[in-house]
Each structure stands twice: as C-alpha cells, then as structure tokens.
Structure 1
Amino acid sequence: MPLHVLRPSPLVEQATEHLREQITGGTWPVGTKIPGETTLAASLGVGRSTVREALRALAGAGLVRARQGAGVFVIASEPAEDWSAQLRRAAVGDVYEVRMLIEVEAARLAARRRTDDDAAALAEALAGRRAASEADDAAFVDADIALHAAVVAAAHNPVLSALFTEFVPTLRRGLIDMLELLALRSGDPGHGDAGHAALVDAVVRGDGEAAGRTLREELEETLARLRSL
C-alpha cells in the first residue's frame, strides 16, 4: 500500500491515519521496524514533527513501540480497545462489581470530606429522587444515578468522579432493564428510598463506616437482582 502526499490540514490526523493503514493493512507486519522519521516525512510530504506526533498517536493506540537506539517497531496489527469501548461491551453485572469497589470507598471519603455545599447537593438529589417516584423508570433511574453522583462528588476526588461518569451509560441501561423486567416499582414507586436516605444521612453526619456499609448493602442487593435477569 503506497504512501500518498497529504493535504495541508489536519496533517497530524492524516499522517496518523495513513501510517495506521500500513499497519492494519499488513504492509508493516507485527515485528517490523517502520521507516525512520526522515523517510516517512519525505514520503508523506510533511515535517518530521508531524510524523513524530503521528507515531505518538499510534503508540498510544498500542500499535507501535519505540526501542531505544533501534527505532520504532510494530507491536500489534489492530488498535487497542479503549476503556469506554470496553465498558460498552461489558456485562452490566461486571461493571456493577467494579462500581461497588469504587463507590463504597467514595462514600467513606465523602463522609470525611463533605462540605456544607455537598450536604445541600445531597439533600437536593434525594429530593429529586423522591420526586421522580412519580415518573417513568428511565427518569427514576436518572434521578437515582444523580444522587449517587452527588455522593461521589462529595469525595472531592476527580479521578473517582471521572470513573463513575464512565460507568453511567452501562449502569443506566442495566438499571432501567431491571426495573422494567422485575416490576420493582409496581408496589413501591420510590424503590430503595429508605436506604438512600440513610446513605445521605451518614455522609452528612460524617459517619464513613455507616455510609460505606449502607451503600454496600444497597449495591449488593441490586447486583443480585441484576445477576438474576
């Protein structure tokens, strides 16, 4: 597969795509040392800095790796699947197990770190969940997730918040399916209200052990239901 001189913009993206094609198309098999920056730059009609950025992108995708003093070698024929893609394919029960590991600790941290603003946000989120008891399952799940997100936010750890956000699409889909299939709200529109109220109370009081224990019990019960679907 021959290389082609590139259009002026966006050069890095174009260079990355053309080099990726050489790898995924088999021109440069796994184990192959790819041409040097000067050669690639001349072939593509770009500067060496553009080639360097393209190679960094390919390394980030798990396709190439630089070896000190030896050059850049192909280490895979297909890009590594990113985290978001893995979550989209994952079973909701598996995602829920990881959610438990993260969110229970987040609840403990939230109890120690919560501010007055966090306490107000938690009270508002709990009220929103209660108000959503009159809504459909999708709106109720959204309100439930918003409450859990408020707990995670009160831990004041941006990494925990980012991880929780990544889980949300898979969790939302699974929870809606669970409510619909098991008809959990048919006799209890605010399903789980007491447990969520206890969670908020524990965080606001600063009782980390109670917050973690309450949340674990709630999540374990939900996970058991998800596993039964």
Structure 2
Amino acid sequence: MAALRPSPLAEQAAARLEEQIRAGQWPVGGKLPGEVALAEELGVGRSTVREALRTLAAAGMVRSRQGSGVYVTADRPTGDWAARLRRAELAHVYEVRTVVEVQAARLAAGRRTGADLAALDAALAARRAAGGADDAAFVDADIALHTAVVAAAHNPVLDDLFAQFAPVLREQLVALVGLFGLRAEDPDHGYDAHADLVRALHDGDPEAAGRVLAAELEATRSRLLTH
C-alpha cells in the first residue's frame, strides 16, 4: 500500500483498512497484522493506527481480543443501525418489524398490567379519533398504539428496537398513506384489526395477538411489494 498523505490521517487509515477488508485481504474471522506492521504499510504512526482501528471497531468491523490481537468481525460497517434503517427499503424494514412486534404482542398478552390495558385502550381511541385528522397525525396515532403494544411486553430491548424503527416508519408511512390512498374511503383504515389486537391482549391470548398483528403487518408489506 502507498503511504498516506497528510490530512485527517486516522480517517484515511480507517478508509484504507476498510477497503482492504472489503477486498478480502483479511477475511471475516481473520486477524489483522499488528500495529507496527500496519503503521509501516500505511506510512503513519502507531497512534494513528490505533485511532483508525477504534473507528472500525465502532463501525462493527473489527474487535480487539485482549492478549491476542485485532480480528475482523464484518466486511462492511454495521455499527450505525439507525443509518442503515434509513437507507433500507421499507418492505425490508417491515419484515424485521414483523419479527419484533409479533413477538412483543405475544409477550404482552401474558405480561400486560391493568395500566398497560388502560394505555392500549386510550391509544386505540386516539387512533380512531385521528381518523378525522391529516395523514401525519393519523400515522402518529397508529405508531403510538404499536408503541403501547411493545411497551406492554415489558422488555427494554424490544422497546429500544422499536424506538429505532419508529422515526423511519413515520417518515415513510406518512408519504405512503397518501400515495396508496389508504384513507380515501376509510379514514380509520385498519381500525378493526387494531381493535382485534387490543381485544386479544385484554383476553391474554398470545396466539391471537400474534396472528392478528402478523396479518396486519403482512398486508402492508404485500402492498409495498406489489405497488
């Protein structure tokens, strides 16, 4: 490799190492050369190499093993989950959303408290009331109901995952509701399915809750694929 020119050297070094990893010079699971060797190849100091490796570690591409060295864990950046969601196709986001939310609904059916049920009833009522509002307010009310379902599962990891989806979903769904004309004939689009979901949670029926939500999300995903 040619020596790097002055500028943000650590950024250049990280970019060069990323290129080499992507090209397969160091495959996933393989060990990188030591700091001294990398510094000589790149024409930079060891401190620059360490900073570049920290950048790659933050991106999920490498991991340091104490006393062993630095190993490749991925051939492309994986660390910025929110950015990847923004770049992803909405149909793909829906596939992952279904995995997360359907399991959350099943858990919620067995874990929901009286306070959760009250919150779900209020969210369902707010969603119906938003039928007379604009598309943005309607989508906000819909996401708020789904958020209440996930919250009733009482799993903070699921809460965090859905929180990552919510901004991406809102931005794209506001556009899609108008594009598909979903509310042209039915301002409360999807109300019956959401009411069935809340009823299943009241009944403590995990299979019904998962089935209803899976069908509702799949209907939207299918529409995305065929539009």
**8 Å CA contact retained: 1:33, 1:73:** no
Alignment match, 2:175? 177
**8 Å CA contact retained: 2:127, 2:142:** yes
Alignment match, 2:194? 196
CA displacement at 1:23 relative to structure 2: 3.1
1:134 to 115, 132, 135: 132
CA displacement at 1:207 relative to structure 2: 1.2
Using the TM superposition, name which of 139-148 and 80-89 deviates more. Answer: 80-89
User: One-letter code of the match for 1:226?
Assistant: L
**8 Å CA contact retained: 2:121, 2:198:** yes
1:159 to 157, 160, 171: 157
Distance 1:20 1:65, change over 3 A: farther
Q: Distance in 1 between matches of 2:148 and 2:140?
A: 12
**8 Å CA contact retained: 1:178, 1:225:** no
1:23 to 1, 14, 24: 14
2:87 to 89, 101, 107: 89
Q: Distance in 1 between matches of 2:6 and 2:68?
A: 23
Q: Distance in 2 between matches of 1:78 and 1:195?
A: 39
Distance 1:177 1:34, change over 3 A: same
Cα deviation, 1:68-97, whole Å, max 9, x if unaligned, reads 656558999985552111111111001101
Percent identity of equivalent pairs: 54
Alignment match, 1:214? 212
The within-5 A match list for 1:44-83 is 55-62=53-60, 64-66=62-64, 80=78, 82-83=80-81
Q: Distance in 1 between matches of 2:98 and 2:86?
A: 18
Q: Distance in 1 between matches of 2:34 and 2:6?
A: 13
CA displacement at 1:148 relative to structure 2: 0.5
TM-score for both structures, normalised by structure 1: 0.75
Cα deviation, 1:159-202, whole Å, max 9, x if unaligned, reads 11111111122322332233212212111111111111111111
User: One-letter code of the match for 2:190?
Assistant: G
The within-5 A match list for 1:217-228 is 217-228=215-226
Alignment match, 1:168? 166
Q: Distance in 2 between matches of 1:174 and 1:220?
A: 17
**8 Å CA contact retained: 2:14, 2:56:** no
**8 Å CA contact retained: 1:112, 1:206:** yes
> Which structure has the larger Rg over C-alpha atoms?
1
Q: For structure 1, which runs of at least 5 residues remain unmatched after alignment?
A: 5-16
Alignment match, 1:116? 114
The total of aligned residue pairs comes to: 209
Using the TM superposition, name which of 59-68 and 179-188 deviates more. Answer: 59-68
Alignment match, 2:42? none
TM-score for both structures, normalised by structure 2: 0.76
Using the TM superposition, name which of 105-114 and 211-220 deviates more. Answer: 211-220
User: One-letter code of the match for 1:152?
Assistant: V
CA displacement at 1:142 relative to structure 2: 0.8
Alignment match, 1:9? none
Q: Distance in 2 between matches of 1:164 and 1:59?
A: 25
User: One-letter code of the match for 2:108?
Assistant: A
CA displacement at 1:29 relative to structure 2: 6.4
CA displacement at 1:215 relative to structure 2: 0.9
